Structure 1
Amino acid sequence: MGGARQPCGAELMSNLQAQYQRDGYVICNGLVGDVTVQALRDEAVAIACGQRGIVDGVVQRDNADEAALKNVLAIHFPHKISPLMREMLSHPAIVKVLTQLVGPDVKCMQSMLFVKNAGKPGQAWHQDETFIPTTDRSLIGVWIALDDATIANGCLWIKPGSHAQGRLWPMLPCDDPRFDGSPEAVGWEAEFGGHEGGIAAEVPAGSVVFFNGFTLHRSLDNRRPCGYRRALVNHYMSARSELPWSFGTSKFAPDDYRDIVLVAGTDPFAERGLEDLARPYLRPETRKP
Protein backbone atom coordinates (compact mmCIF):
# COMPACT_ATOMS: atom_id res chain seq x y z
CA MET A 1 0.00 0.00 0.00
CA GLY A 2 2.99 2.30 -0.41
CA GLY A 3 3.01 3.27 3.27
CA ALA A 4 -0.55 4.63 3.12
CA ARG A 5 -2.05 2.13 5.56
CA GLN A 6 -2.03 3.10 9.24
CA PRO A 7 -3.42 1.56 12.44
CA CYS A 8 -4.83 5.00 13.15
CA GLY A 9 -6.90 4.02 16.13
CA ALA A 10 -3.92 2.69 18.08
CA GLU A 11 -1.03 5.09 17.60
CA LEU A 12 -0.15 8.72 17.03
CA MET A 13 -0.81 10.07 13.54
CA SER A 14 2.16 12.40 13.14
CA ASN A 15 2.88 11.27 9.56
CA LEU A 16 -0.74 10.94 8.46
CA GLN A 17 -0.98 14.32 6.81
CA ALA A 18 2.25 13.81 4.85
CA GLN A 19 1.01 10.49 3.51
CA TYR A 20 -2.32 11.99 2.56
CA GLN A 21 -0.69 14.90 0.77
CA ARG A 22 1.64 12.55 -1.11
CA ASP A 23 -0.75 9.75 -2.09
CA GLY A 24 -4.16 11.43 -2.01
CA TYR A 25 -5.49 8.82 0.39
CA VAL A 26 -4.75 6.99 3.62
CA ILE A 27 -6.20 3.78 5.07
CA CYS A 28 -6.87 3.44 8.78
CA ASN A 29 -7.41 -0.10 10.03
CA GLY A 30 -9.76 -0.90 12.90
CA LEU A 31 -11.10 2.63 13.28
CA VAL A 32 -14.72 1.54 13.81
CA GLY A 33 -15.45 -1.20 16.35
CA ASP A 34 -17.22 -4.48 15.65
CA VAL A 35 -20.32 -3.58 17.66
CA THR A 36 -20.78 -0.35 15.73
CA VAL A 37 -20.19 -2.09 12.40
CA GLN A 38 -22.90 -4.64 13.18
CA ALA A 39 -25.27 -1.90 14.30
CA LEU A 40 -24.71 -0.14 10.97
CA ARG A 41 -25.43 -3.36 9.06
CA ASP A 42 -28.68 -3.76 10.98
CA GLU A 43 -29.53 -0.12 10.39
CA ALA A 44 -28.97 -0.60 6.64
CA VAL A 45 -31.72 -3.23 6.66
CA ALA A 46 -34.11 -0.93 8.53
CA ILE A 47 -33.42 1.91 6.06
CA ALA A 48 -33.86 -0.37 3.04
CA CYS A 49 -37.20 -1.51 4.47
CA GLY A 50 -38.38 2.08 4.87
CA GLN A 51 -38.54 1.80 8.65
CA ARG A 52 -36.54 4.96 9.34
CA GLY A 53 -38.50 7.19 7.02
CA ILE A 54 -39.22 7.79 3.38
CA VAL A 55 -36.51 6.94 0.87
CA ASP A 56 -37.41 7.85 -2.70
CA GLY A 57 -37.39 4.61 -4.70
CA VAL A 58 -37.67 2.29 -1.68
CA VAL A 59 -40.84 0.30 -0.99
CA GLN A 60 -41.76 0.26 2.69
CA ARG A 61 -41.98 -3.15 4.39
CA ASP A 62 -43.70 -4.09 7.61
CA ASN A 63 -40.78 -6.16 8.90
CA ALA A 64 -37.00 -5.70 8.86
CA ASP A 65 -35.97 -8.21 6.18
CA GLU A 66 -32.42 -8.43 4.85
CA ALA A 67 -33.86 -9.50 1.50
CA ALA A 68 -34.70 -5.81 1.00
CA LEU A 69 -30.99 -5.16 0.48
CA LYS A 70 -30.75 -7.32 -2.63
CA ASN A 71 -32.04 -4.66 -4.99
CA VAL A 72 -30.16 -1.77 -3.38
CA LEU A 73 -26.94 -0.47 -4.89
CA ALA A 74 -26.76 2.73 -2.84
CA ILE A 75 -28.95 5.07 -0.80
CA HIS A 76 -27.97 8.73 -0.62
CA PHE A 77 -28.36 10.88 2.51
CA PRO A 78 -29.30 8.13 4.99
CA HIS A 79 -28.23 10.44 7.82
CA LYS A 80 -31.31 12.57 7.14
CA ILE A 81 -33.59 9.85 8.55
CA SER A 82 -31.33 7.60 10.64
CA PRO A 83 -30.04 8.84 14.01
CA LEU A 84 -27.27 6.23 13.89
CA MET A 85 -26.10 7.31 10.44
CA ARG A 86 -26.11 10.94 11.58
CA GLU A 87 -24.15 10.00 14.70
CA MET A 88 -21.53 8.35 12.48
CA LEU A 89 -20.81 11.70 10.82
CA SER A 90 -19.16 12.73 14.09
CA HIS A 91 -17.57 9.41 15.05
CA PRO A 92 -14.72 10.49 17.37
CA ALA A 93 -11.97 8.37 15.78
CA ILE A 94 -12.94 9.52 12.30
CA VAL A 95 -13.12 13.17 13.34
CA LYS A 96 -9.67 12.84 14.90
CA VAL A 97 -8.27 11.88 11.51
CA LEU A 98 -10.29 14.53 9.70
CA THR A 99 -8.87 17.29 11.87
CA GLN A 100 -5.39 16.07 10.93
CA LEU A 101 -6.19 16.14 7.21
CA VAL A 102 -8.72 18.97 6.83
CA GLY A 103 -9.27 20.65 10.21
CA PRO A 104 -9.52 22.17 12.65
CA ASP A 105 -12.97 23.20 11.36
CA VAL A 106 -14.77 20.43 9.47
CA LYS A 107 -18.27 20.10 8.05
CA CYS A 108 -20.12 17.23 6.35
CA MET A 109 -22.52 17.67 3.44
CA GLN A 110 -23.33 14.15 2.27
CA SER A 111 -23.69 10.52 3.30
CA MET A 112 -24.11 7.47 1.08
CA LEU A 113 -24.92 3.90 2.08
CA PHE A 114 -23.56 1.39 -0.44
CA VAL A 115 -24.88 -2.17 -0.30
CA LYS A 116 -23.70 -3.78 -3.58
CA ASN A 117 -25.24 -7.23 -3.46
CA ALA A 118 -23.62 -10.05 -5.47
CA GLY A 119 -23.90 -9.15 -9.15
CA LYS A 120 -24.36 -5.44 -8.54
CA PRO A 121 -22.12 -3.03 -10.46
CA GLY A 122 -19.41 -0.67 -9.29
CA GLN A 123 -18.69 2.90 -10.38
CA ALA A 124 -16.12 3.82 -13.04
CA TRP A 125 -13.09 6.07 -12.43
CA HIS A 126 -14.13 9.48 -11.15
CA GLN A 127 -13.17 12.34 -8.83
CA ASP A 128 -15.60 13.47 -6.17
CA GLU A 129 -14.76 17.14 -6.70
CA THR A 130 -16.53 16.81 -10.06
CA PHE A 131 -19.79 16.34 -8.22
CA ILE A 132 -19.17 18.31 -5.02
CA PRO A 133 -16.98 21.30 -5.92
CA THR A 134 -15.02 23.16 -3.27
CA THR A 135 -13.12 26.41 -3.63
CA ASP A 136 -10.17 25.29 -1.50
CA ARG A 137 -9.64 21.66 -2.65
CA SER A 138 -10.55 20.42 0.83
CA LEU A 139 -13.18 17.82 -0.13
CA ILE A 140 -12.49 14.44 1.45
CA GLY A 141 -14.33 11.13 1.18
CA VAL A 142 -14.54 8.87 4.23
CA TRP A 143 -15.22 5.26 3.14
CA ILE A 144 -16.19 3.00 6.06
CA ALA A 145 -16.09 -0.73 5.35
CA LEU A 146 -19.09 -2.56 6.83
CA ASP A 147 -17.97 -5.87 5.32
CA ASP A 148 -14.52 -7.18 4.48
CA ALA A 149 -13.85 -5.45 1.15
CA THR A 150 -12.00 -7.59 -1.40
CA ILE A 151 -11.26 -7.51 -5.10
CA ALA A 152 -13.87 -10.25 -5.58
CA ASN A 153 -16.72 -8.33 -3.97
CA GLY A 154 -15.89 -4.93 -5.44
CA CYS A 155 -13.50 -3.07 -3.16
CA LEU A 156 -12.33 0.48 -3.77
CA TRP A 157 -9.48 1.07 -6.27
CA ILE A 158 -7.31 4.21 -6.11
CA LYS A 159 -4.76 5.90 -8.37
CA PRO A 160 -2.13 7.23 -5.90
CA GLY A 161 -0.94 10.77 -6.54
CA SER A 162 -3.73 11.56 -9.01
CA HIS A 163 -4.91 14.41 -6.78
CA ALA A 164 -1.67 16.37 -6.80
CA GLN A 165 -2.32 18.63 -9.81
CA GLY A 166 -5.75 19.63 -8.56
CA ARG A 167 -7.05 18.94 -12.05
CA LEU A 168 -10.55 17.73 -12.85
CA TRP A 169 -10.63 15.39 -15.82
CA PRO A 170 -13.52 15.49 -18.31
CA MET A 171 -16.35 12.99 -17.93
CA LEU A 172 -17.80 10.86 -20.72
CA PRO A 173 -20.57 8.24 -20.81
CA CYS A 174 -19.48 4.75 -19.77
CA ASP A 175 -21.24 1.61 -21.01
CA ASP A 176 -18.90 -0.96 -19.42
CA PRO A 177 -21.24 -3.55 -17.82
CA ARG A 178 -19.04 -3.68 -14.71
CA PHE A 179 -20.23 -0.21 -13.78
CA ASP A 180 -23.53 1.43 -12.90
CA GLY A 181 -23.82 3.69 -15.94
CA SER A 182 -22.42 6.83 -14.29
CA PRO A 183 -20.00 8.90 -16.42
CA GLU A 184 -16.28 8.09 -16.34
CA ALA A 185 -13.29 10.42 -16.01
CA VAL A 186 -11.07 10.29 -19.13
CA GLY A 187 -7.84 11.83 -20.41
CA TRP A 188 -5.63 10.86 -17.47
CA GLU A 189 -4.71 7.34 -18.60
CA ALA A 190 -1.22 7.98 -19.99
CA GLU A 191 -0.14 9.80 -16.85
CA PHE A 192 -1.53 7.41 -14.27
CA GLY A 193 -1.18 3.97 -15.82
CA GLY A 194 -4.33 3.34 -17.81
CA HIS A 195 -7.82 2.25 -16.94
CA GLU A 196 -6.86 -0.93 -15.12
CA GLY A 197 -4.53 -1.19 -12.16
CA GLY A 198 -4.10 1.17 -9.28
CA ILE A 199 -4.18 0.27 -5.59
CA ALA A 200 -6.85 -2.17 -4.45
CA ALA A 201 -8.05 -1.04 -1.04
CA GLU A 202 -8.75 -4.51 0.32
CA VAL A 203 -9.65 -3.85 3.94
CA PRO A 204 -11.41 -5.67 6.79
CA ALA A 205 -14.72 -4.43 8.13
CA GLY A 206 -14.26 -1.45 10.45
CA SER A 207 -11.43 0.02 8.39
CA VAL A 208 -11.75 3.50 6.92
CA VAL A 209 -10.32 4.90 3.69
CA PHE A 210 -9.84 8.68 3.57
CA PHE A 211 -9.34 10.06 0.06
CA ASN A 212 -8.96 13.50 -1.48
CA GLY A 213 -11.73 14.93 -3.67
CA PHE A 214 -9.35 15.03 -6.66
CA THR A 215 -8.12 11.45 -6.25
CA LEU A 216 -9.16 9.11 -9.07
CA HIS A 217 -10.98 6.11 -7.67
CA ARG A 218 -13.46 3.46 -8.71
CA SER A 219 -14.98 0.17 -7.62
CA LEU A 220 -15.71 -2.93 -9.69
CA ASP A 221 -18.78 -5.13 -9.64
CA ASN A 222 -19.40 -7.66 -6.87
CA ARG A 223 -18.39 -10.94 -8.53
CA ARG A 224 -19.06 -13.15 -5.54
CA PRO A 225 -21.86 -15.73 -5.91
CA CYS A 226 -23.60 -14.29 -2.85
CA GLY A 227 -23.22 -11.67 -0.15
CA TYR A 228 -22.86 -7.91 0.11
CA ARG A 229 -20.06 -5.37 0.07
CA ARG A 230 -21.56 -2.75 2.32
CA ALA A 231 -19.91 0.59 2.99
CA LEU A 232 -20.91 3.93 4.48
CA VAL A 233 -19.34 6.85 2.63
CA ASN A 234 -19.48 10.39 4.03
CA HIS A 235 -18.12 13.56 2.44
CA TYR A 236 -16.54 16.42 4.39
CA MET A 237 -14.60 19.63 3.78
CA SER A 238 -13.11 22.55 5.65
CA ALA A 239 -15.83 24.58 7.36
CA ARG A 240 -13.72 27.69 6.76
CA SER A 241 -14.78 27.72 3.10
CA GLU A 242 -18.14 28.15 1.44
CA LEU A 243 -19.54 25.26 -0.57
CA PRO A 244 -20.77 26.27 -4.05
CA TRP A 245 -22.86 23.11 -4.45
CA SER A 246 -26.13 23.66 -6.28
CA PHE A 247 -27.96 20.73 -4.72
CA GLY A 248 -31.52 21.41 -3.72
CA THR A 249 -33.16 24.84 -3.69
CA SER A 250 -30.90 26.83 -1.40
CA LYS A 251 -31.42 30.54 -0.82
CA PHE A 252 -27.63 30.81 -0.72
CA ALA A 253 -27.08 29.03 -4.07
CA PRO A 254 -24.79 28.98 -5.87
CA ASP A 255 -22.41 30.43 -3.29
CA ASP A 256 -22.90 28.31 -0.21
CA TYR A 257 -24.72 25.04 0.47
CA ARG A 258 -26.01 25.13 4.05
CA ASP A 259 -27.48 21.65 4.56
CA ILE A 260 -24.38 20.66 6.49
CA VAL A 261 -23.36 19.12 9.81
CA LEU A 262 -20.45 20.67 11.68
CA VAL A 263 -18.32 17.87 13.13
CA ALA A 264 -15.28 19.78 14.43
CA GLY A 265 -14.34 23.33 15.36
CA THR A 266 -16.48 26.32 14.47
CA ASP A 267 -18.54 27.45 11.49
CA PRO A 268 -17.50 30.93 10.30
CA PHE A 269 -20.81 31.19 8.40
CA ALA A 270 -23.05 30.12 11.28
CA GLU A 271 -25.03 33.36 11.15
CA ARG A 272 -26.54 32.13 7.86
CA GLY A 273 -28.21 29.27 9.67
CA LEU A 274 -28.85 25.80 8.27
CA GLU A 275 -31.19 24.56 5.56
CA ASP A 276 -32.99 21.23 5.16
CA LEU A 277 -32.53 20.48 1.46
CA ALA A 278 -31.49 16.87 0.86
CA ARG A 279 -33.86 13.92 0.92
CA PRO A 280 -32.83 10.25 0.94
CA TYR A 281 -33.13 8.43 -2.38
CA LEU A 282 -32.19 5.14 -3.98
CA ARG A 283 -29.42 5.55 -6.54
CA PRO A 284 -30.70 4.51 -9.99
CA GLU A 285 -28.78 2.09 -12.16
CA THR A 286 -28.49 3.00 -15.83
CA ARG A 287 -26.04 0.34 -17.02
CA LYS A 288 -26.87 -1.70 -20.08
CA PRO A 289 -27.88 -5.30 -19.42
Structure 2
Amino acid sequence: MTEINYQEAWERNGYILLRGFIDQHLCQAMLDYIVAFVRENRPDSSKVLTVKAPDDSTVYVADGSIIIPESKPTPFAQSQEDNISKVFNLHRREPFKAFVERPEVLDVLDVLEQLIGQEIDCFQSQFIFKNAGAWGQPWHQDSYYMPLDHLPQVGVWLAVSEATLENGCLLVQPGSHREPIHTHVPDQRPQANYGYVEIVDYDFTDAVPILMQPGDLLIFHSFLMHRSVDNQSNSRRAAAMFHFAQAGTQKTQDVPIYTFDFTPVRRSS
Protein backbone atom coordinates (compact mmCIF):
# COMPACT_ATOMS: atom_id res chain seq x y z
CA MET A 1 0.00 0.00 0.00
CA THR A 2 1.44 3.41 -0.96
CA GLU A 3 1.65 6.39 1.34
CA ILE A 4 -1.19 8.18 -0.45
CA ASN A 5 -3.41 5.13 0.06
CA TYR A 6 -2.59 5.19 3.76
CA GLN A 7 -3.71 8.79 3.88
CA GLU A 8 -6.87 8.19 1.88
CA ALA A 9 -7.92 5.24 4.05
CA TRP A 10 -7.16 7.19 7.20
CA GLU A 11 -9.10 10.28 6.16
CA ARG A 12 -12.07 8.28 4.89
CA ASN A 13 -12.36 5.60 7.57
CA GLY A 14 -10.20 6.61 10.52
CA TYR A 15 -8.23 3.37 10.43
CA ILE A 16 -5.73 1.37 8.38
CA LEU A 17 -5.59 -2.44 8.35
CA LEU A 18 -2.25 -4.02 7.47
CA ARG A 19 -2.17 -7.73 6.75
CA GLY A 20 0.78 -9.89 7.79
CA PHE A 21 2.60 -6.92 9.27
CA ILE A 22 4.51 -8.81 11.97
CA ASP A 23 5.90 -12.33 12.02
CA GLN A 24 3.73 -14.69 14.04
CA HIS A 25 6.75 -15.76 16.12
CA LEU A 26 6.73 -12.32 17.76
CA CYS A 27 3.04 -12.72 18.55
CA GLN A 28 3.76 -16.05 20.23
CA ALA A 29 6.65 -14.50 22.18
CA MET A 30 4.30 -11.81 23.52
CA LEU A 31 1.74 -14.42 24.55
CA ASP A 32 4.36 -16.64 26.20
CA TYR A 33 5.76 -13.69 28.14
CA ILE A 34 2.44 -12.43 29.44
CA VAL A 35 1.18 -15.88 30.44
CA ALA A 36 4.38 -16.45 32.44
CA PHE A 37 4.07 -12.96 33.97
CA VAL A 38 0.49 -13.54 35.13
CA ARG A 39 1.29 -16.97 36.54
CA GLU A 40 4.29 -15.58 38.41
CA ASN A 41 2.31 -12.65 39.81
CA ARG A 42 -0.70 -14.37 41.30
CA PRO A 43 -2.92 -12.34 43.67
CA ASP A 44 -1.53 -14.24 46.67
CA SER A 45 2.08 -13.44 45.76
CA SER A 46 4.02 -11.20 48.13
CA LYS A 47 5.18 -9.20 45.09
CA VAL A 48 1.63 -8.20 44.13
CA LEU A 49 -0.23 -5.18 45.47
CA THR A 50 -4.02 -5.51 45.69
CA VAL A 51 -5.88 -2.28 44.86
CA LYS A 52 -9.57 -1.41 45.03
CA ALA A 53 -10.81 0.33 41.88
CA PRO A 54 -13.36 3.18 42.10
CA ASP A 55 -16.17 0.75 41.25
CA ASP A 56 -15.07 -1.45 44.21
CA SER A 57 -13.64 -4.15 41.95
CA THR A 58 -10.15 -5.46 42.63
CA VAL A 59 -7.10 -5.06 40.43
CA TYR A 60 -3.50 -6.10 41.00
CA VAL A 61 -0.23 -4.22 40.55
CA ALA A 62 2.93 -6.20 39.86
CA ASP A 63 6.27 -4.58 39.02
CA GLY A 64 4.55 -1.50 37.62
CA SER A 65 2.04 -3.39 35.49
CA ILE A 66 -1.68 -3.45 36.25
CA ILE A 67 -3.47 -6.81 36.07
CA ILE A 68 -7.24 -6.57 35.65
CA PRO A 69 -9.23 -9.77 36.21
CA GLU A 70 -12.55 -10.52 34.58
CA SER A 71 -15.36 -9.30 36.83
CA LYS A 72 -17.50 -12.15 35.49
CA PRO A 73 -15.45 -15.36 35.81
CA THR A 74 -15.02 -17.10 32.50
CA PRO A 75 -16.76 -20.50 32.41
CA PHE A 76 -13.84 -22.48 30.95
CA ALA A 77 -11.03 -21.25 33.21
CA GLN A 78 -8.34 -23.80 33.97
CA SER A 79 -5.21 -21.66 34.44
CA GLN A 80 -4.43 -18.38 36.19
CA GLU A 81 -4.50 -16.41 32.93
CA ASP A 82 -7.93 -17.72 31.93
CA ASN A 83 -9.66 -15.26 34.28
CA ILE A 84 -7.56 -12.21 33.32
CA SER A 85 -9.04 -9.49 31.15
CA LYS A 86 -6.09 -7.15 30.52
CA VAL A 87 -2.57 -6.33 31.64
CA PHE A 88 -1.45 -2.69 31.33
CA ASN A 89 1.99 -1.04 31.11
CA LEU A 90 4.12 -3.43 29.10
CA HIS A 91 5.91 -1.23 26.57
CA ARG A 92 9.13 -1.00 28.59
CA ARG A 93 9.38 -4.81 28.64
CA GLU A 94 10.61 -7.13 25.92
CA PRO A 95 9.30 -8.25 23.50
CA PHE A 96 6.79 -5.38 23.64
CA LYS A 97 9.47 -2.67 23.75
CA ALA A 98 11.09 -3.99 20.59
CA PHE A 99 7.74 -3.87 18.84
CA VAL A 100 6.96 -0.21 19.57
CA GLU A 101 10.48 0.77 18.44
CA ARG A 102 10.42 -1.26 15.22
CA PRO A 103 11.17 0.91 12.17
CA GLU A 104 8.23 -0.66 10.32
CA VAL A 105 5.82 0.51 13.01
CA LEU A 106 7.25 4.01 13.15
CA ASP A 107 7.31 4.24 9.34
CA VAL A 108 3.55 3.73 9.29
CA LEU A 109 3.11 6.40 11.94
CA ASP A 110 5.18 8.77 9.77
CA VAL A 111 2.22 8.98 7.41
CA LEU A 112 0.19 10.40 10.30
CA GLU A 113 2.67 13.15 11.20
CA GLN A 114 -0.08 15.74 10.83
CA LEU A 115 -1.70 14.15 13.91
CA ILE A 116 1.17 13.28 16.22
CA GLY A 117 4.24 14.94 14.70
CA GLN A 118 7.70 13.54 14.00
CA GLU A 119 8.64 13.01 17.64
CA ILE A 120 6.59 10.21 19.14
CA ASP A 121 5.99 8.65 22.56
CA CYS A 122 4.27 5.39 23.38
CA PHE A 123 2.32 6.25 26.51
CA GLN A 124 0.13 3.24 27.20
CA SER A 125 0.07 -0.45 26.35
CA GLN A 126 -2.06 -3.42 27.23
CA PHE A 127 -2.33 -7.12 26.54
CA ILE A 128 -5.93 -8.23 26.05
CA PHE A 129 -6.70 -11.88 26.75
CA LYS A 130 -10.41 -12.08 25.72
CA ASN A 131 -10.64 -15.66 26.95
CA ALA A 132 -13.31 -18.15 25.98
CA GLY A 133 -16.67 -16.98 27.31
CA ALA A 134 -15.51 -13.40 28.03
CA TRP A 135 -17.80 -10.48 27.30
CA GLY A 136 -16.97 -7.91 24.66
CA GLN A 137 -16.28 -4.24 25.40
CA PRO A 138 -19.10 -1.83 24.42
CA TRP A 139 -18.88 0.96 21.85
CA HIS A 140 -16.37 3.62 22.93
CA GLN A 141 -13.76 6.09 21.77
CA ASP A 142 -10.30 5.65 23.24
CA SER A 143 -9.81 9.39 23.79
CA TYR A 144 -12.63 9.28 26.32
CA TYR A 145 -10.25 7.37 28.60
CA MET A 146 -7.29 9.65 27.88
CA PRO A 147 -7.42 13.17 29.38
CA LEU A 148 -4.42 14.54 27.50
CA ASP A 149 -3.56 18.01 26.26
CA HIS A 150 -2.85 16.98 22.67
CA LEU A 151 -5.56 15.26 20.64
CA PRO A 152 -5.93 12.90 18.94
CA GLN A 153 -3.70 9.93 19.68
CA VAL A 154 -3.09 6.87 17.51
CA GLY A 155 -3.91 3.31 18.57
CA VAL A 156 -2.03 0.29 17.23
CA TRP A 157 -3.84 -3.03 17.74
CA LEU A 158 -1.83 -6.18 17.02
CA ALA A 159 -3.66 -9.46 16.54
CA VAL A 160 -1.79 -12.04 18.62
CA SER A 161 -4.31 -14.75 17.71
CA GLU A 162 -6.99 -15.04 15.06
CA ALA A 163 -9.89 -12.60 15.56
CA THR A 164 -13.30 -13.74 14.29
CA LEU A 165 -16.95 -12.89 14.86
CA GLU A 166 -17.20 -15.98 17.03
CA ASN A 167 -14.24 -15.31 19.31
CA GLY A 168 -14.59 -11.58 19.89
CA CYS A 169 -13.20 -9.51 17.02
CA LEU A 170 -13.40 -5.73 16.88
CA LEU A 171 -16.19 -3.83 15.14
CA VAL A 172 -15.50 -0.30 13.94
CA GLN A 173 -17.73 2.52 12.71
CA PRO A 174 -15.95 3.90 9.61
CA GLY A 175 -15.76 7.67 9.53
CA SER A 176 -16.71 8.14 13.17
CA HIS A 177 -13.25 9.61 13.87
CA ARG A 178 -14.71 12.86 12.53
CA GLU A 179 -17.17 12.93 15.44
CA PRO A 180 -16.39 14.73 18.72
CA ILE A 181 -15.96 12.70 21.89
CA HIS A 182 -19.46 11.51 22.70
CA THR A 183 -21.02 11.03 26.11
CA HIS A 184 -20.15 7.61 27.53
CA VAL A 185 -22.38 5.98 30.12
CA PRO A 186 -21.43 3.09 32.45
CA ASP A 187 -21.81 -0.41 31.05
CA GLN A 188 -25.08 -1.59 32.63
CA ARG A 189 -24.37 -5.32 32.45
CA PRO A 190 -24.07 -6.92 35.89
CA GLN A 191 -20.40 -7.75 36.59
CA ALA A 192 -19.17 -5.55 33.75
CA ASN A 193 -15.39 -5.15 33.83
CA TYR A 194 -13.82 -2.18 35.55
CA GLY A 195 -13.82 0.91 33.33
CA TYR A 196 -16.33 -0.37 30.77
CA VAL A 197 -18.51 2.43 29.43
CA GLU A 198 -20.50 2.80 26.25
CA ILE A 199 -21.79 5.25 23.67
CA VAL A 200 -25.59 5.11 23.35
CA ASP A 201 -26.32 8.21 21.23
CA TYR A 202 -25.04 7.03 17.85
CA ASP A 203 -26.37 4.81 15.03
CA PHE A 204 -24.00 1.90 14.44
CA THR A 205 -25.90 0.39 11.51
CA ASP A 206 -22.86 0.73 9.23
CA ALA A 207 -20.38 -0.91 11.60
CA VAL A 208 -17.97 -3.40 10.05
CA PRO A 209 -16.14 -6.34 11.67
CA ILE A 210 -12.34 -6.41 11.54
CA LEU A 211 -11.36 -10.04 10.96
CA MET A 212 -7.67 -10.61 11.59
CA GLN A 213 -4.94 -13.23 11.59
CA PRO A 214 -1.96 -13.30 13.96
CA GLY A 215 0.46 -10.58 12.89
CA ASP A 216 -2.16 -8.33 11.31
CA LEU A 217 -2.13 -4.72 12.50
CA LEU A 218 -4.98 -2.24 12.90
CA ILE A 219 -4.00 1.42 13.26
CA PHE A 220 -6.79 3.79 14.26
CA HIS A 221 -7.66 7.32 15.30
CA SER A 222 -8.41 7.71 19.01
CA PHE A 223 -11.83 9.23 18.19
CA LEU A 224 -12.86 6.20 16.11
CA MET A 225 -15.86 4.42 17.63
CA HIS A 226 -15.21 0.72 18.10
CA ARG A 227 -16.22 -2.23 20.23
CA SER A 228 -15.53 -5.94 20.58
CA VAL A 229 -18.07 -8.74 20.51
CA ASP A 230 -18.40 -11.52 23.08
CA ASN A 231 -16.10 -14.50 22.78
CA GLN A 232 -18.54 -17.33 22.10
CA SER A 233 -15.83 -19.78 21.11
CA ASN A 234 -13.81 -22.18 23.23
CA SER A 235 -10.48 -20.47 22.54
CA ARG A 236 -8.71 -17.22 23.42
CA ARG A 237 -8.69 -14.12 21.19
CA ALA A 238 -5.51 -12.35 22.24
CA ALA A 239 -4.26 -8.92 21.19
CA ALA A 240 -1.64 -6.35 22.15
CA MET A 241 -2.65 -2.68 22.10
CA PHE A 242 -0.34 0.34 22.03
CA HIS A 243 -1.17 4.05 22.17
CA PHE A 244 1.10 6.69 20.62
CA ALA A 245 1.09 10.45 21.09
CA GLN A 246 3.08 13.52 20.15
CA ALA A 247 6.17 13.92 22.33
CA GLY A 248 5.55 16.37 25.13
CA THR A 249 1.90 15.41 25.56
CA GLN A 250 0.76 15.75 29.17
CA LYS A 251 -2.22 14.44 31.08
CA THR A 252 -4.79 17.03 32.14
CA GLN A 253 -6.16 15.07 35.08
CA ASP A 254 -5.40 11.93 37.05
CA VAL A 255 -6.94 8.69 35.86
CA PRO A 256 -7.85 6.19 38.61
CA ILE A 257 -5.95 2.89 38.35
CA TYR A 258 -4.88 3.32 34.73
CA THR A 259 -1.56 5.11 34.38
CA PHE A 260 0.27 6.71 31.49
CA ASP A 261 3.95 5.91 31.01
CA PHE A 262 5.34 8.23 28.33
CA THR A 263 8.25 6.45 26.69
CA PRO A 264 10.19 8.01 23.79
CA VAL A 265 10.18 5.85 20.68
CA ARG A 266 11.27 8.43 18.09
CA ARG A 267 13.19 11.68 18.33
CA SER A 268 14.42 13.88 15.48
CA SER A 269 17.92 14.09 16.90
TM range (shorter): 0.7 to 0.9
Displacement of 1:243 after TM fit?
4.0
Equivalent AA in structure 2 for residue 98 of structure 1? L
Mark the runs of 5 or more structure 1 residues left unpaired by the alignment.
1-10, 61-65, 250-256, 268-289
Query: SS at 1:78's partner residue?
Result: coil
State whether structure 2 residue 84 is matched by structure 1 residue 88.
Answer: no
Tell me if structure 1 keeps the 8 A contact 2:148–2:250: yes
Partner of residue 150, structure 1: 164
**Aligned residues: CA RMSD:** 2.9
Of 123, 126, 146, which aligns to 1:112? Answer: 126
CA distance in 1, matches of 2:12, 2:122: 23
Query: SS at 1:83's partner residue?
Result: coil
TM-score (ref. length: structure 2): 0.78
State whether structure 2 residue 173 is matched by structure 1 residue 162.
Answer: no
TM-score (ref. length: structure 1): 0.73
Displacement of 1:240 after TM fit?
5.4
Tell me if structure 1 keeps the 8 A contact 2:174–2:207: yes
Which consecutive segments of 4 or more residues in structure 1 shift more than 6 A? Answer: none
Tell me if structure 2 keeps the 8 A contact 1:178–1:221: no
CA distance in 2, matches of 1:83, 1:73: 20
Partner of residue 233, structure 1: 241
Tell me if structure 2 keeps the 8 A contact 1:124–1:179: no
State whether structure 2 residue 262 is matched by structure 1 residue 260.
Answer: yes
1:79-124 Cα deviation digits (max 9, x unpaired): 35x3322222223221111121234111111001001110011110
Mark the runs of 5 or more structure 2 residues left unpaired by the alignment.
51-58, 63-77
Partner of residue 175, structure 1: 188
State whether structure 2 residue 80 is matched by structure 1 residue 68.
Answer: yes
1:15-69 Cα deviation digits (max 9, x unpaired): 2122112211111111111221111111121121136975754699xxxxx9222
Change (3 A) 1:91 1:54: farther
Displacement of 1:162 after TM fit?
0.6
Change (3 A) 1:129 1:71: same
State whether structure 2 residue 56 is matched by structure 1 residue 44.
Answer: no
CA distance in 1, matches of 2:209, 2:252: 32
Of 173, 184, 191, which aligns to 2:198? Answer: 184
1:240-260 Cα deviation digits (max 9, x unpaired): 5444352479xxxxxxx9831
Structure 2 counterparts to residues 274-289 of structure 1, below 5 A: none
Partner of residue 215, structure 2: 206
CA distance in 2, matches of 1:121, 1:174: 11
Aligned residues: 237
State whether structure 2 residue 25 is matched by structure 1 residue 35.
Answer: yes
Q: Percent identity?
A: 28
CA distance in 2, matches of 1:131, 1:245: 11
Tell me if structure 2 keeps the 8 A contact 1:163–1:215: yes
Equivalent AA in structure 1 for residue 266 of structure 2? A
Query: SS at 1:26's partner residue?
Result: strand
Query: SS at 2:79's partner residue?
Result: helix
Tell me if structure 1 keeps the 8 A contact 2:89–2:261: no
